[in-house]
Chains A and B, each alone.
Chain A
Amino acid sequence: MTFLGLLERHPSHGYDLKRDYDVFFGRGKPLPFGQVYSTLSRLARDGKVVISEVEPGAGPDRKRYVITDLGATEVEQWLTQPVEPEPNLQSVLFSKVVLSLMLDRSAEDYLDLQRRAHLERMRELTAVKRAGGLVDLLLADHSLYHLEADLRWIEMTAARLDALKKAVRP
């Protein structure tokens, strides 16, 4: 999905996509080239991207990928849906915020939606805690503390959106 989002900004070659992915999303864990091209092949097979032109290069031919209407619709849906609140979601939340800013969509609206989803899940877990025994309570507590950490991150990110926008849209 991140590739589709990056391609919605502008058509790109695989090499450029990998570079942008590594800069914004792959910090400390660069994406292998093999995974870049296998992902692009799958997106092309599913009709979410097409190859607009092929340029001969020093090595293999360079293909330029363009997002299709189907791919753009998928990006739109992904960016406007909250992530299922589970512990350890930071990387997905981060990707949605950064891509929203890159694509000039409202990251604030997304964060509000995610906040609602998190609070809703925390409400469910609190009800489980109040109704269940000690084991349920401890398991629910584990999730509640992680979701609370996500929410703190959401609040801090919401307060820094203007600065983040400048960083991802130079």
Chain B
Amino acid sequence: MDRDDRSTARRPEKGGAAVTVALEARDVEYSFGSTPALRGASVAVEAGEILAIMGPSGSGKSTLLHCLAGILVPSAGQIHLGETRLDTMTETQRSVLRRQRFGFVFQFGQLVPELTAAENVALPLLLNGVRRAPAMREADGWFERLDLGGLQSRRSGELSGGQAQRVALARALVAKPEMLFADEPTGALDSLTGEHVMDLLVDAARGQGTTVILVTHEARVAAYADREAIVRDGRVTVLDRIPS
């Protein structure tokens, strides 16, 4: 894994106090064929914060999330996870990093249909070498925490949309990841269920100090975040607080 001399994981804030940058995109570019999706996108996420990435359809917000998560490799620019460069890692290195340090929640179809809900939640622990019995015990604890008691043995086809999304959230957080990437996590849910999922996501992430990057087109979902970044035409505008 490369380290970049220019990387500065701690930076002075305007007021003088230091903030810890957990993840940062610098001048990132990415194209799908000849169609540019990101054109010099830059954004820094502070450790422990919840950042919402917003923007119109096709603006590049999901592409930015995928670059930050090491799923896509930018054609230009850099991705820094603390002092580690993601964009220069091999696919194998990025895959290990995603499994060990990141959690993911998507809009649709993320549970393995052949596994029970409890096995789905335990999966990241099992893949990281945790033995089955402690993995299943840890998974079981998340069912109570996310209001899913009694659903452990169900398969994904037997869960409602909101239940499946809470199971996916438990699976994303069970291994206590440093970063949680959530791409439209409430996009397929009705307003009330989506709100419940967001309440649980925020409480769980804050409870274990997980940094969250959340892509959404819904302002009411973005309002759960500490800050917003707007992606337009492949570039990012970060909305800092308005000085009072």
Once bound together, how far apart are the Cα atoms of A159 and B230, in whole Å? 14
Interface pair B224/A126, CB less than 8 Å apart: yes
Any chain B CB within 8 A of the CB of A115?
yes
Say yes or no: is B242 at the interface (Cβ < 8 Å to chain A): yes
CA of A130 to CA of B224 in the docked complex: distance in angstroms?
10
- Residues from chain B with a CB closer than 8 A to the CB of A125 are 223
* Distance in angstroms between the alpha carbons of A151 and B242 in the assembled complex: 17
- Does B220 sit within 8 A of A, measured CB to CB? yes
Tell me the smallest distance from the CB of A60 to a CB of chain B, in Å: 46
Complex Cα distance, B241 from A84, in Å, reads 14
Q: In the complex the two chains form, what is the Cα distance from A155 to B224 in whole Å?
A: 20
Pairwise interchain contact B223-A144, C-beta atoms closer than 8 A: yes
> Taking CB as reference atom, which chain B residue is nearest A144?
B220
A115 close to B220 (CB less than 8 A) = no
B222: Cβ under 8 A from any A Cβ: yes
Residue of B nearest to A126 (CB): B223
B199, B220, B239, most chain A CB atoms within 10 A:
B220
Chain A contact residues: helix, strand, loop or mixed? helix
Assess whether B193 is interfacial by the CB under 8 Å rule: no
- Does A118 count as interface, using CB distance less than 8 angstroms? yes
> Which residues on B sit within 8 Å (CB–CB) of A113?
242
Whether, in the assembled complex, A120 has its beta carbon less than 8 Å from a beta carbon of chain B, the answer is: yes
Question: In the assembled complex, how far is the CB of residue B214 from the closest CB belonging to chain A, in whole angstroms?
Answer: 13
Is the CB of B49 closer than 8 A to any CB of chain A? no
A82-B242, A112-B237 known; A119-B56 Cβ under 8 A: no
- List, in ascending order, chain B residues with CB within 8 A of A130's CB: 199, 202
Write out the residue numbers on chain B whose beta carbons fall within 8 Å of the beta carbon of A46: none
Question: When chains A and B are docked, how far (Å) is the Cα of A49 from the Cα of B132?
Answer: 80
Q: How large is the interface on A (under 10, 10 to 19, 20 to 34, 35 or more residues)?
A: 20 to 34
- In the bound complex, what is the Cα–Cα distance between A163 and B202 (angstroms)? 40
B220, A120: Cβ atoms closer than 8 Å: no
A115-B223 in contact given A130-B199, A155-B56, A159-B56 (Cβ < 8 Å): no
In the complex, A147 has a CB within 8 A of chain B: yes
Interface residue tally for chain B (C-beta within 8 Å): 17
- Residue A93, interface by CB 8 Å: no
Asked whether B222 lies within 8 Å of A119 as measured between CB atoms, the reply is yes
In this complex, what residue of A is CB-closest to B224?
A126
Q: Given A82-B242, A130-B199, A159-B56, does the pair A119, B228 have CB atoms closer than 8 Å?
A: yes
Find out whether the CB atom of B230 lies under 8 angstroms from the CB atom of A115: yes
Q: How far is the CB of A153 from chain B (nearest CB, A)?
A: 12
Question: Quick one: given A126-B224, A130-B199, are A116 and B242 in contact (CB under 8 Å)?
Answer: yes
Q: Is residue A103 within 8 Å, beta carbon to beta carbon, of the partner chain?
A: no
Q: Closest A residue to B56 by CB, please name it.
A: A155
Taking CB atoms, residues of chain A closer than 8 Å to B224 are: 123, 126
- When the two chains form their complex, are residues A123 and B199 in contact, meaning their CB atoms are under 8 A apart? no
From B202, B218, B228, name the one whose CB has the most chain A CB atoms within 10 angstroms. Answer: B228
The docked-state distance in angstroms from the alpha carbon of A145 to that of B199 is: 17
A126 contacts which chain B residues (CB < 8 A)?
220, 223-224
CB nearest to B240 among chain A residues: A116
A51 at the interface (CB under 8 A from B): no
Cβ–Cβ contact A148 & B220, under 8 A: yes
Residues in B whose Cβ lies below 8 Å from that of A115: 230, 239
Within 8 A of A (CB), among B214-244: 218-220, 222-225, 228, 230, 237, 239-242
- 17 A-B contacts, Cβ less than 8 Å apart? A113-B242, A116-B241, A116-B242, A119-B219, A119-B222, A119-B239, A120-B241, A122-B220, A122-B222, A122-B223, A123-B223, A125-B223, A126-B220, A130-B202, A148-B219, A155-B56, A159-B56
Additional 12 contacts, C-beta under 8 A, given A118-B219, A123-B225: A116-B240, A117-B242, A119-B219, A123-B224, A125-B223, A126-B220, A126-B223, A147-B219, A148-B219, A148-B220, A155-B56, A159-B56
Closest 5 pairs between A and B when the two form their complex, measured CB to CB:
A122-B223, A126-B223, A116-B239, A151-B219, A148-B219
